[in-house]
Amino acid sequence: MVDVDGSYALLVTRDQTMLHTRDCPHLGAAARSSLVPASADQLELLAMCSSCRDILDGARRRTFATLDAALEALPVPVENRARMRQIAAGLTIAQVWIPPSGSYIAVAAEGQAASAYFNKGFVDVRREAGGYDRHEMPSYRSGSRSGVRDSSAGVQVALCPSCFMQLPANGACDACDG
């Protein structure tokens, strides 16, 4: 939230390990309620939360009234949406947003940190004990992020016994005459 004078105050939580704004997406309700203005020493010594730095630099997350609206905006492949809705049905959702990076959809209960992250090919749901459970979607592909498959997988190639470069079809090494 913007302060009365239009600026963003830098704040710290009780643990005083990092500077935040009131709009920090990583803070839960308890941490947000414990925010106090940072002292001059804290402003000098503490690092800024990267999400809060983005906020101060003008980046804003986009909020949505529904998960479906966010699924359309990301855009998430249609074949993944039904499964994502099933996962979302088991969550308490009061807030839905896409961060400035535009790489995922986050959902949270009112005043809480994100409880799940919906990516184009998988969903990470926060466990109460910590960590995440990953749910892979029908279009999920591990490995190459470009979606390009290596069509040469499994093809044997001949290598030069001297320099180990791949040999051309004629079998004579162009690199070392080996």
The answer to whether residue 5 is domain-embedded is no
51 within a domain of the structure (yes/no): yes
Segments of the chain with pLDDT less than 50: 1-6, 144-154
Question: Are residues 120 and 83 part of one domain?
Answer: yes
For the chain, the domain total comes to 2
Q: What is the DSSP letter of 109?
A: -
149 DSSP β-pair partners: none
Residue 120 located in a structural domain: yes
- Residues 70/97, Cβ–Cβ less than 8 Å: yes
Q: pLDDT by residue (tens digit) across 12-53?
A: 998 888 999 887 877 877 888 889 999 999 999 999 988 888
Q: Which of 28, 30, 38, 40 is nearest to 8 (CA)?
A: 38
Task: Examine residue 29 and state whether it is found in any structural domain, yes or no.
Answer: yes
Same domain, 126 and 69: yes
